[in-house]
Amino acid sequence: MAATPVQVAVLDDYQGIATPKFAHLVDQGKISVTYFPNTLNVRNADEREAQIKRLQPFEILSTMRERSLFNADILGSLPNLKVLLTTGARNFAIDHEFAATKGIVVAGTQRTSEAANGPDPTTQQTWALILGLAKHIAREDNALKTDKSYWQGQDLAISLPGKTLGLLGLGRLGQASAKIAILAFGMKVVAWSSSLTQEKADAAAAEIGLPAGSIRVAASKLDLLREADVVSLHYVLSERSRGLVGKEELAAMKPSALLINTSRGPLVDEAALFETLKAGKIRGAAIDVFDIEPLPADSPWRTTEWGKNGRSEVLLSPHMGYAVEDYIGSLYDQVVENLERHLAGQELLLEMAEQTIPQMRGLPLALHGTIIHTLDASTLEILQDCLLIIDSDGKIEKIFKDTPADKVNACISQAGHSPDVFPVKYLRRGEFLIPGFIDTHYHAPQYAQRGLGRDQTLLEWLENVTFAHERKFEDVAYAKRMYTACVQAGIKQGVTTASYYGSVHVEATKILAETCLEQRQRAFVGKCNMNRSSPEWYRDVSAEESLKETRELVAHVRSIDSEGKLVKPILTPRFAITCDDTLLSGLGRIVDETPDIHVQTHFNEAVDEMEYTRQLYPQFQHEADLYDEFGLLGPQTILAHSIFLKEEEMDRIKAKGCGIAHCPISTATLGEFMMAPIREYLRRGIKVGLGTDVGGGFSSSMLDIMRHAFIISKARETFTKGADPALKLNEGFFLATLGGAQVCGIHDKVGNFIEGKEFDALEIHTIGSEPCGSLGVMSPIEDEDSIEAIFEKFLMTGDDRNIAKVYIAGQSVKETA
Ligand SMILES: Nc1nc2[nH]cnc2c(=O)[nH]1
């Protein structure tokens, strides 16, 4: 009997070039091929679902470099996938690390020698665009065809000889364009990249047969932009080069200049470019690459009337630099060769995992400017002129204090790196780094219910609002959508670590953990345990089942992040009211067996809650006694709220090393107005951090939480007649960062900037282009403002618009969130 043909799907082949290449394997009955030429944008929930549905049956996929996104979410949803064949020698749209963990083989293609002769397809596109724009080809063509009387009625073409071509990037493609500019058009060429020296530019000139000095290196990127008549990008996109040309760079260009981008869309701040062109601030742009591809139907790039009413001329092409017949054909020959090798059980050519993983982990980076962090609850450090070197694993390799900008290169050398190639980001006035925020208590399935039910007591609110919302997470598709939104919102607001409760559902909670990992948010994730005192439709069916599913979740989280680098499991009994003693003692057993496991629960939160707990567990003196008896108190335990602690309870939790998640918004708005005695806890050396307690708390912003902590502590100061002084600014900041890290037991890893710790940080920008120099709605920064004043203004009035970048373990994650 003939073997069943292997199922292959070919994606992103817009011109149907692959069909004849695969035909012989189809004829031989070895494979059956399905073509999906339309690329789906899997960041859109519906298209993500459609992508997973259509690709699920296939064992082998063929994709075109960087057209379809294969992140961990998509790869993890394709159970039959064994081989992913892509065109190109690199494909940053594939999560190679994750593919490797799933045993999916990824293989690419290389440039063939025929294709390597003469200018490559992308360089041809660059010059087609330069000439097309300089000579107004598309505009004149359109005028002739649409206006029968038209003849030469618009401004004249630009002549290239004698003009200056500015190349951002002088790699293979930059050199090819330099050669054409000099030899074919008699242009002058000036180049810049972060690592380019005149020596290297002379070597590049020699490679293309030109004398030293033919390509002049600009003193800086801005100098190049000020000088060039035509600016063309030839840079590899990475986290470091993203936004290489932004507002400031565009403002430096001559009004008569042209900008050409055939490299990658995100190298240019697309919004800033759009505004520049709309205002006609440069003469024109020719663009082959975009932030989102395919360019959406309603993109203003498509719909704006360019070249009219003061707007610049714009020439667009649909990322076709490399899309030429011979070249794409040769790529598919290699894809088919690899497919044949796979069918014959042979090793594939150009397997990509090893060569690409270092890139995916990020490159080393240095940041220079102001850093602000705490060393303990009472010590705030503001270090100006500080140089941080981050290694490729995302750790803080070296901190140089008091280092003016002109000493940066010397410090980089001293740290054993070459300043020529080491990317340095310089922060300006109004910009600074702070440690990422740590949210010590967050109910992820309550993300959509924030703001509801304020006027109810805790137990009423659980019954009337919360359980019905959490129940929705039995639907895993809903869970994926909501958790994606929730984690993205956290990252956007600078939450680099969160301690999450999931719902009662184990599958949805696995999705929560996977979502954190995909988006690279550091997280503790727990399945909520509750087998009583809640509606039948929302509870664990039994203590045994609850424990079984908890173990399953713990194992799953450990399997997706085996070293616990980012995501770790946590036990999350809702509270004693919803857990019978079999369940609590079973959880205590899990703690016994796995001493490094974290625990969080709600503790002495509300009057009705404490009263009901006493009725259910009359044998215990208080809640500390209760949870301790079940083995749930230890240095890895987070006790949320902790409003009404007896003297003895404070002694107990201090002795056990537990931490407190102070959630001032929810405790001041749910039921009565309650004020946790934070000053007393700090006095006693009990660990304290802050929690949003979404959705008991209406806000998911740690800045809001900090501000409410100040207000509540002020109320408490008045209430205690000054015995418990209010929190100072630096103390609130400590609680949101290092304090939270201590509560979560990760203070040796994150929480402040110390050599050897991981770089979890927020890049704060406070000065913008809105009236009075505002950025967002933050208090405007005035000339006389000291760094202390700027910091205070940010903490008290800033929001996510001022959090320009979020780094987790050295990787910039906000733009992808
Ligand atoms: N704030 C808060 N307290 C609780 N106690 C038990 N469950 C909850 C919850 O979901 N939120």
Q: Of 43-57, 359-373, 679-693, where does mean pLDDT reach its minimum?
A: 359-373
Among all chains, which residue has been given the structure tokens 């939450």?
495
Mean pLDDT of 278-286: 97
Name the pLDDT band for 806 (thresholds 50, 70, 90).
very high
| pLDDT for the residue numbered 392 | 76
pLDDT in tens, 323-376: 888 888 889 999 999 999 999 988 888 887 543 333 333 456 889 999 999 999
pLDDT in tens, 250-260: 999 999 999 99
H-type alpha helices, 565-637: 581-593, 607-616, 623-629
Distance 676 CA to ligand 1 centre (A): 16
Is any atom of ligand 1 closer than 6 Å to the C-beta of 574?
yes
Report the first-to-last Cα separation within the chain, whole angstroms.
50
**Burial status of residue 237 (CB atoms within 10 A of its CB: 0-12, 13-18, 19 or more):** middle
Q: What are phi and psi of 207, to 5 degrees?
A: -60, -30
Distances (CA, A) of 222 to 248, 264, 420, 607: 8, 20, 18, 63
| pLDDT for the residue numbered 356 | 39
| pLDDT for the residue numbered 812 | 84
Q: Which of 656, 658, 652, 693 is nearest to 674 (CA)?
A: 693
* Best residue for ligand 1 mutational test, from 602, 604, 616, 663 (most atoms within 8 Å of Cβ): 602
Mean pLDDT of 59-82: 89
| pLDDT for the residue numbered 428 | 87
| pLDDT for the residue numbered 195 | 85
Distance 609 CA to ligand 1 centre (A): 10
Mean pLDDT of 60-87: 90
Q: Which atom of ligand 1 is nearest to the CA of 666?
A: 1
pTM of the entire predicted model = 0.62
All structural domains of the chain, each given as residue ranges with its CATH number in brackets, are 6-108+326-356 (3.40.50.720), 118-316 (3.40.50.720), 365-435+758-812 (2.30.40.10), 437-743 (3.20.20.140)
Q: Which atom of ligand 1 is nearest to the CA of 575?
A: 6
Q: Of 64-78, 478-492, 597-611, 697-711, where does mean pLDDT reach its minimum?
A: 64-78
pLDDT in tens, 178-235: 999 999 999 999 999 988 999 999 999 999 999 999 999 999 999 999 999 999 999 9
Is any atom of ligand 1 closer than 6 Å to the C-beta of 441?
no
Is any atom of ligand 1 closer than 6 Å to the C-beta of 466?
yes
Is any atom of ligand 1 closer than 6 Å to the C-beta of 470?
no
Average pLDDT, the chain: 92
Bridge partner residues of 316 (DSSP)? 287
Mean pLDDT of 137-143: 96
DSSP state of 351: B
Task: Please state, as a whole number, how many other Cβ atoms lie within 10 Å of the Cβ of residue 648.
Answer: 12
pLDDT in tens, 495-535: 999 999 999 999 999 999 999 999 999 999 999 999 999 99
CA–centroid distance for 452 within its chain: 29
pLDDT in tens, 258-273: 999 999 998 999 999 9
Q: Which atom of ligand 1 is nearest to the CA of 695?
A: 11
Are the C-beta atoms of 475 and 486 separated by less than 8 Å?
Answer: no
| pLDDT for the residue numbered 257 | 98
Query: Above 60 in pLDDT, residue 115?
Result: no
Are the C-beta atoms of 70 and 94 separated by less than 8 Å?
Answer: yes
SS3 781: coil
Nearest CA to ligand 1 atom 6: 574
Cα 305 to Cα 333: distance, rounded to the nearest angstrom: 41
ipTM over 0.90: yes
Distance 630 CA to ligand 1 centre (A): 20
Query: Above 70 in pLDDT, residue 419?
Result: no
Is any atom of ligand 1 closer than 6 Å to the C-beta of 664?
no
Distance 603 CA to ligand 1 centre (A): 9
| pLDDT for the residue numbered 116 | 53
Cα 118 to Cα 318: distance, rounded to the nearest angstrom: 23
Mean pLDDT of 411-417: 85
Q: What are phi and psi of 58, to 5 degrees?
A: -90, 145
Q: Which of 315, 307, 323, 317 is nearest to 132 (CA)?
A: 315
Is any atom of ligand 1 closer than 6 Å to the C-beta of 758?
no
